[in-house]
Amino acid sequence: MMTQHNPNHGVYTELIARLEADALRHPGWYRLRILMLILLGHVGQLVALSLFLIALALLTVAILTYPLHPSWFLLAIALCIVGGLIWLLCRVTPATPVGEPLTRQTSPNLFRLIDKVTAKVGSPGVDKVLLTADFNAAIVQQPRLGLVGWHRNILLLGLPLMMALSTRHFAAVLAHEFGHLSAQHGRFACWVYRLRNTWQRALEQPSVVEHTPNLLLTWLQRFVHYFNAYSFVLARQNEYEADQASVTMCGKRVTMEALVLSQLTSRWLEQHYWPALLRNAEDNPEPTPSPHRALEQAIALGMQQHGLDVWLAEALTHQTGHFDTHPSLADRLSRLDHAATLPEPISINAARRLLGEDLDVLQDQLDDNWRQQIRGSWYARHQQVQEGRRELEALQQEASVGPLSLPRAWRLAELAQALGQPQLAIATCEYLTQTHPEYAPGHHLQGQLLLAQGDARGLDSLDHALRQDPRLTTPCARQAYLYLQGLGDKRGAENYFRLACEYVLATEHRDDGTPKTDVSLLPHDLLPKQADALSRDLAHDPYVEQAWLLRRHVTDFPERSLYLLLLQNTTQARQVAAHTIAPETLIPNQTFIIKLDQRTRALKQRAEKLVGSQIFP
């Protein structure tokens, strides 16, 4: 069995960065290139049909002249086999989604809302509606003829999402999903959106991976990854257009509230509800909870126990990368031209209002399915915890008799942390750091545990860990950064981010400051006023001819970037100095200046390919 090909993330990211600017400058040419890729993707059907026609002709001739030309018969068979393989691949149909079917008879209120939304946004209707256990809503287009097409539309509605939203918020979500199919928002973009999903889902099927020849599968995987990267800009634009469908249906404020509620509830479910529920596996060998039965009340009460204003502020700083076509919350609200605010609590959720009396039965069905699906992993977790507890007890007894060796003490600390005994884990780490002060993982774990309890001594432990083992620099810096950010100590947090940047520069860049080839670079993301201020400062330096500002990601800091300022100087230039940039210039804090010369020619060439990265002139 051949595993799916993983694309080069650096190449993927830089390609998207170039295309983002290119699509703005030459939108017609960009769309034409996507169309050419789509035609190339469909060439398989033409090749298969041609091979079959040739094979049929050869087979006819071979039957008539077999004694004279037996080789034609063999050639016809070979062409039939090759053509058949290609045709079968083109006939691949993505796996059919599963869920509890909803009908007009059982859920009339829901279907009335669906009809209202499709009419308002100008979208085709759906052939099937399924209720799922996911916190999501989506429209899957299931091709009847494999990759050739003739789709039927299947609407997937996640019950947790319906319970988190009011009916009007849920209508905004539905409008967004149907907006992906609406001719009002561009037939070409919707077509590309469908192809991306269909091709990717088809290649993810185990039957395709197992039964397709390796050479052909490798080519197809490379092509689909390349097509996804090339069409990424259009796909993200389609997300913004789908948001406009929500505005058409419900208005800006309701659309904003639906986005905010979805973001915050998703975080609460992932970080609190499901982890707390799954902890029951530690003591019970069988999955007894009814998560979907309990979810309605849990959302109503549980969300109120957390600082949602803090969560919202954090969500607005999060940036999505180039592997998710959904823009960040801040970007989506910026396009809506509406500030983010916390919605009022919901009185009746969409599930209760739209599914009516059938809701309780549907909850029970989803719970039964959930227990059936999770039973194996639930029992495995139960066994793992029980074995861990027995091992932990044995280690504690051993420690009561005499001092533990380094491996045994470290195992005790790990088990105590994993089994929810932080005080025991901290005490064991203190023993480790006293008896083996050179052991960096002990300091690292001690720092994590102390900071989790709000104890600032954890910063000293993290500092000690990264001094002992520099490879721990970015994870230690990240933990300290988050702790200080939570305290409002922005200066202290920034010092740790700078430490992570210095480590990245030391390990992933060459002596002249240029990044290694596997480091992906992106154009800067400065606001226009920031870019203009920086350009004016550079114009005051007579030695600077050209300048580019790039950015790169920093390990363990997904929301931050390290900036690289590339300066092309005249032949009479002195050594580049940071004082070229005025203190009041709104340049990002962590910026590394690189002087371009013969040694850094390759870096300049990379910068020139990134449209929008040149900051001066």
- Report the percentage of the chain scoring pLDDT > 70: 76
Assigned domain for 442 exists: yes
My answer on whether 443 and 498 are in the same domain is yes
Query: Strand pairing partners for 550?
Result: 523, 564
Assigned domain for 171 exists: yes
Instruction: Note the pLDDT tens digit of each residue in 349-391.
Output: 999 999 988 999 999 999 999 999 999 999 999 999 999 999 9
My answer on whether 528 and 477 are in the same domain is no
Q: What is the pLDDT, as a whole number, of residue 3?
A: 34
pTM score of the predicted model: 0.75
Which of 175-179, 326-330, 585-589 has the lowest average pLDDT? 585-589
* Residue predicted with more confidence, 159 or 94: 159
Q: Is the pLDDT of residue 222 over 70?
A: yes
Cβ atoms of 84 and 123 closer than 8 Å: no
My answer on whether 147 and 234 are in the same domain is yes
Q: Is the pLDDT of residue 407 over 90?
A: yes
Q: What is the DSSP string of 466-488?
A: HHH-GGGHHHHHHHHHHHHHHHT
* Residue predicted with more confidence, 243 or 69: 243
My answer on whether 546 and 496 are in the same domain is no
Q: What is the pLDDT, as a whole number, of residue 476?
A: 96
Assigned domain for 302 exists: yes
Instruction: Note the pLDDT tens digit of each residue in 504-520.
Output: 888 888 877 788 877 88
Helix residue ranges, H only, 318-358: 329-336, 350-355
Instruction: Note the pLDDT tens digit of each residue in 250-299.
Output: 999 999 999 999 999 999 999 999 999 999 999 999 998 899 999 988 99
Instruction: Note the pLDDT tens digit of each residue in 456-508.
Output: 999 999 999 999 999 999 999 999 999 998 888 988 998 999 899 889 888 88
- Report the percentage of the chain scoring pLDDT > 90: 42
My answer on whether 339 and 237 are in the same domain is yes
For 562, the domain range is: 522-616
Q: What is the pLDDT, as a whole number, of residue 2?
A: 33
Cβ atoms of 158 and 133 closer than 8 Å: yes
Query: Strand pairing partners for 129?
Result: 102, 155
Q: Please state the rounded mean pLDDT for residues 174-183.
A: 86
Q: What is the pLDDT, as a whole number, of residue 4?
A: 38
Q: What is the pLDDT, as a whole number, of residue 124?
A: 87
Cβ atoms of 129 and 113 closer than 8 Å: no
Last residue in a domain, options 356, 374, 406: 356
My answer on whether 500 and 530 are in the same domain is no
Q: Which residue, among 434, 450, 433, has the nearest Cα to 442 in the 3D structure?
A: 433
My answer on whether 483 and 446 are in the same domain is yes
- For the record, the structure tokens of 606 come out as 């990379």
Q: Is the pLDDT of residue 571 over 60?
A: no
Assigned domain for 108 exists: yes
Alpha-carbon Rg of the chain, whole angstroms? 29
Q: 606 pLDDT band (50/70/90 cuts)?
A: confident
Residue 340: C-alpha distances to residues 200, 333, 524 (Å)? 34, 7, 25
Last residue in a domain, options 356, 373, 395: 356
My answer on whether 111 and 247 are in the same domain is yes
My answer on whether 436 and 546 are in the same domain is no
Q: Which residue, among 161, 162, 142, 272, has the nearest Cα to 202 in the 3D structure?
A: 142
Number of helical H runs and strand E runs in the chain: 26, 9
My answer on whether 306 and 454 are in the same domain is no
Assigned domain for 384 exists: no
Q: Is the pLDDT of residue 540 over 80?
A: yes
* Residue predicted with more confidence, 116 or 144: 116
Q: Is the pLDDT of residue 600 over 70?
A: yes
Assigned domain for 123 exists: yes
Q: Please state the rounded mean pLDDT for residues 111-118.
A: 96
My answer on whether 120 and 236 are in the same domain is yes
Q: Is the pLDDT of residue 410 over 80?
A: yes
Q: What is the pLDDT, as a whole number, of residue 148?
A: 52
Last residue in a domain, options 325, 341, 356: 356
My answer on whether 473 and 348 are in the same domain is no
Q: Which helix (H) or strand (E) holds 593?
A: strand 591-596
For residue 494, the domain's CATH number is 1.25.40.10
Assigned domain for 63 exists: no
- For the record, the structure tokens of 94 come out as 């993505």
Instruction: Note the pLDDT tens digit of each residue in 188-198.
Output: 766 776 677 66
For residue 573, the domain's CATH number is 3.30.300
Helix residue ranges, H only, 69-134: 70-90, 108-121
User: Count of domains in the chain?
Assistant: 3
Assigned domain for 258 exists: yes
Q: Which residue, among 373, 376, 375, has the nearest Cα to 98 in the 3D structure?
A: 373
* Residue predicted with more confidence, 594 or 585: 594
570 phi-psi bin (left φ>0, alpha ψ -120 to 50, beta other)? beta
Instruction: Note the pLDDT tens digit of each residue in 204-214.
Output: 665 555 556 56
Q: What is the mean pLDDT of the chain?
A: 82
CA–CA gap between residue 429 and residue 462 (Å, rounded): 12
